[in-house]
Amino acid sequence: MSSSTMRNRAVVIEDDVLVLSLTAEILRRAGYVVHEAINGEDGLAKCRAIQPDLVVTDIFMPERDGIEVLREVKKSRPETRVVAISGGSPLLPRMDFLVTADKLGADAVLAKPFTPAQLLAAATSSDWDPDGKVRPLDRHSRKEPAMTIWDRSA
């Protein structure tokens, strides 16, 4: 990616420290300057301070969930690309959260677990179906983890 087309400031908001550090590292290796936040409140503060080009946010987390993050980021800076990620919760399946994030304006959604290539495709919108429809990946027929992606900009 050329520096003129790459979005280089990112905030990753995730309460699972391992997922946070791995997601941030994937983006760093792709050339992003990444700021990490362990909850929605800290993430929103970082978003206000650095005005990122990309926000990757978990949905289910303490101190402001990802839905609140999504709504506030899109309200204050609509051009920021927001990728919502979720593994669900003990009470609700992940798809409920991802459908909600999609309806509220997320540019892309990813179900955990996801691969580095899937994250980078969601971050850059370079690998989407041309019609922007749901792309399920079947865990039994592929080597990649099962996931679903939407892209609103396709």
Q: What is the pLDDT of residue 154?
A: 43
User: CA torsion angle for 42, 36, 48, 111 (degrees, to 10)?
Assistant: -90
Task: Give the Cα separation of 97 and 102 in Å (integer).
Answer: 9
Q: What is the pLDDT of residue 97?
A: 66
Q: Is the pTM of this model over 0.95?
A: no
Residue 143 has pLDDT above 50, yes or no: no
Q: Closest by alpha carbon to 44, among 2, 6, 75?
A: 75
At residue 61's C-alpha, the angle toward residues 57 and 65, to 5°, is: 65
pLDDT in tens, 69-103: 999 999 999 999 999 998 765 555 545 667 777 77
**What are the backbone dihedrals phi and psi of residue 13, each rounded to the nearest 5 degrees, phi first?**
-120, 115
